[in-house]
Structure 1
């Protein structure tokens, strides 16, 4: 899993680098201490301080920055909304932020149902543009009002409605790219020959790719090599989705759009526990729901404890719930579809919710719980890292039962929830990170063994980043890991693009920001909810970037 070592950058001072960048591009170049601090972290557990932050105005600027990176041997990391939970939008060299200027919707073709966007376009901006036409981009991650298309494609983002509309990779038509060798490439179907040596690499590894990749819908970890198979159309653009900026930089993207159902209906189905709810998912999938989201009493109690019992609408009796959305052209058709699904739900305890206000309140439990999961019920700090595992939906119930055992064995707690229709589970855990990363490493290794035993993926939509790349050999064979390195060498021969991620990964317990933050007694404030510690209070900010959203209430 090695690439050619990057040229030494010691001969280029930061002053010389900044001067070269300013002379080469029209956009802004900022090496101030404040800006570098702002871009040193994201929504993950990690902190890596860059040398400089660049805001390109156009594709020519991006190409110029790439050329300087190659000339100086200084690494390059792309950043959009900075909402990465895996640490794949931070890096030690040049951080390139396209959200400030390269944020234009270039074209919407209503007849073809496609849109052409720059990488810095925020997803909700495109959704607002499409709404009057009854269209939308299918995937809808929870960060939609600040996540950019560059990040969506880089992570292969999904969200609740991916069960109906697929991952981002399923919705990409073509990409205008520049790779680590400086080649400008149009990635599309039947396009793998745009990168010299790539078709030959695929042909030499057909058996590995066919047996280890594309096994289930949320297998996001690693490079998605299945898209390069001849039977899958050798689709280079779809392959690039989920490559986390380690192979190429997106200059422009053309994506497909989907129709929004005219009638939607929510059903809330109750079970004895979360794992039992997960057991009921597979029969429901035959009815083609728009979304199947799962949660249990731990999350509901967390919301009620923080916001009051009135914040939780009446739920059917149970301790684990599925929120299932059905869609159709008419109200009559959606009622029929929901009734058919309910007959296969495996429970008599359910509610069909027709009031849109109550529907919104119920969905808010899921949304608010995700935010509140940054702290445990007793106020302990909770962290990502193992927040995005996925297994085939048929294995989800068994996985959840054993995952509770892993949490108990490590003495940690969390409030799992997630996209049950796709087998993807989100959870933050109160792993003690105040002193070092040893507890995180121990838990991650056990959890990785569990998820791979259930045929799953380390990541279902957030990517591997710094959090999980080191664990890829637990999920893939040595032959597959070797192919990753060979792919990286073809696209990025000097290893300059987002180093430490996916190929030649950084240790998962390196660059953790919490252990490096010493206890700081409050001055003038008690910080009673943070054990009198200003540092702990500061870390209530999870870095998820909601403060960047134009409309916080969305």
Structure 2
């Protein structure tokens, strides 16, 4: 480990932390899982992160990217090297107001990004509950959506293209491609051609299973997005990589779609005898196009009461043991 740390400090301009305190701090996230990493790298730039990956490859050491550390299932926990993008690689690189897209680095947090985008009347549609601190890179890794999934879908629905780095050193932009572009990539040869050929072969081998068995639900965020490789989906490698939780590539930059800001808001809270009855009403409620829809059960509310948290909000809930919180938005308060 001493040699690994020394080589990283020689090659990386950012921070290289192998002290016990840093390793302990990065050993967990918002989940109950804990794995102490070998070390932590805080890259000073995207190119700095590329150097860190090269050193990990040289020493055959696993690595994973970390966003805001808000994951609930241990996605930020690993025994390898942690790449923390949030301190330095948090820039909004460009905004295209006509196409409604933004080019960002992975460490930028959602709320600060939306504050920057507000001057253009645009925002990121997906809004997890941890929007103050979750990063775009983490949202891409987890295919985040939040309560706004009904309106804006998942991060895989918003990604346009990704600049990625594979463990063996291939750095490239990926997105949807047609057959002509696929043939051009194959003709160029090299590692990218081999990867694209492998993905196409995997898709073709299981084509019928993917079309038949992949569940078509708004919040399907588990597993790999193999259905994004289908011909009718444009063989979209970027969408296929969203949600892979740093297991396949390192994301260096991302171009994402934006939506118009709708500043006027109204909230309706519906009470039900239990959470199952509330869930039964979701299709009917969704038919009215809310921008956010979230369910609460009596267990969660009961814990809030026990801990004496959010007392004012809890006391204002309508009678019931299950609730739907439904938010609507518009450009003007008179129409919301």
- 2-structure distance, mates of 1:251, 1:131: 24
Q: Which residue of the partner structure matches residue 327 of structure 2?
A: 325
Contact in 2 for aligned 1:213/1:224 (Cα 8 Å)? no
Cα distance between partner residues in 2 of 1:66 and 1:246: 13
Q: Distance in 2 between matches of 1:41 and 1:306?
A: 24
3-state SS, counterpart of residue 68 of structure 1: helix
What residue is the counterpart of 1:223 in the other structure?
A: 224
Preserved contact between residue 81 and residue 147 of structure 1 (Cα < 8 Å): yes
Separation of aligned partners in 1, 2:312 and 2:71: 32
The equivalent residue for 1:166 is 153
Offset at 1:136?
Answer: 1.0
Q: Equivalences for 1:129-528 in 2 at 5 Å?
A: 129-190=116-177, 194=192, 195-196=195-196, 197-307=198-308, 310-334=312-336
User: Aligned equivalents of 1:43 and 1:16: distance in 2?
Assistant: 31
Matched residue count = 321
- 8 Å CA contact 1:304–1:311 kept in 2: the answer is no
Which structure exhibits the higher relative contact order, with contacts defined as CA atoms closer than 8 Å and separated by 6 or more residues? 1
Q: How far apart, CA to CA, are the structure 2 residues paired with 1:207 and 1:46?
A: 37
- Report the CA distance between 1:328 and its aligned residue: 2.9
Counterpart in the other structure of 2:189: none
TM-score (structure 1 length as normaliser): 0.56
Larger deviation, residues 46-55 vs 167-176: 46-55
Structure 1: gaps of 5 or more residues:
1-13, 335-554
Structure 2: which 5+ residue stretches go unaligned?
186-191
Write the deviation string for residues 464-484 of structure 1: whole angstroms up to 9, x where unpaired.
xxxxxxxxxxxxxxxxxxxxx
Give 1:134 shift.
Answer: 2.7
Instruction: Look up the match of 1:63.
Output: 50
Are 2:101 and 1:114 equivalent residues in the alignment?
A: yes
Q: TM (normalized to structure 2)?
A: 0.90
Superposed, 1:4-23 pairs within 5 Å as 14-23=1-10
The counterpart of 2:17, out of the listed 15, 30, 39, is: 30
User: Secondary structure of the residue that 1:86 maps to in structure 2?
Assistant: coil
SS at match of 2:58: helix
What are the superposed Cα offsets for residues 69-93 of structure 1, whole Å, 9 maximum, x if unpaired? 2221111121121222111212212
CA RMSD in angstroms comes to 1.8
1:180 is paired with a residue whose SS is coil
Separation in structure 1 between the aligned mates of residue 319 and residue 138 of structure 2, nearest angstrom? 39
Give the superposition deviation at 1:298. Answer: 3.1
Q: Is the 8 A contact 1:122 1:145 kept in 2?
A: yes
Give the match's secondary structure for 2:307.
helix
Distance 2:88 2:164 in 1: 17
1:114-170 CA-to-partner distances (Å, cap 9, x unmatched) read 111111111111011122333210111111111111111001011111210110110
> What is the alpha-carbon distance in structure 2 between the residues aligned to residue 56 and residue 21 of structure 1?
11
Question: Which segment drifts farther, 273-282 or 103-112?
Answer: 103-112
Deviation at 1:214, TM superposition (A): 4.4
Deviation per residue, 1:289-348 (Å, 9 max, x gap): 1112111333333323333754534333332221111223444432xxxxxxxxxxxxxx
Partner of 1:93: 80
Pairwise CA distance, 1:271 = 1.6
How many Å separate the matches in 2 of 1:226 and 1:154?
17
Given the superposition, is the C-alpha separation of residues 41 and 186 from structure 1 closer, same or farther in structure 2, using an over 3 Å criterion?
same
From the superposition, tell whether residues 214 and 266 of structure 1 become closer, same or farther in structure 2 (CA, over 3 Å). Answer: same
> Quick one: structure 1 residues 95 and 331, their matched pair in 2 at CA, closer, same or farther if it must change by over 3 Å?
closer
In structure 2, how many angstroms separate the alpha carbons of the residues matched to 1:253 and 1:147? 15
CA distance in 1, matches of 2:37, 2:271: 48
- The answer as to whether partners of 1:214 and 1:224 remain within 8 angstroms in 2 is no
Counterpart-to-counterpart distance in 2, 1:42 and 1:226: 30
After superposition, give the CA deviation of every residue in 1:383-442 in whole Å (9 maximum; x if it has no partner). Answer: xxxxxxxxxxxxxxxxxxxxxxxxxxxxxxxxxxxxxxxxxxxxxxxxxxxxxxxxxxxx
**CA distance, structure 2, for counterparts of residue 283 and residue 243 of structure 1:** 32
Structure 2: distance between partners of 1:198 and 1:28: 35
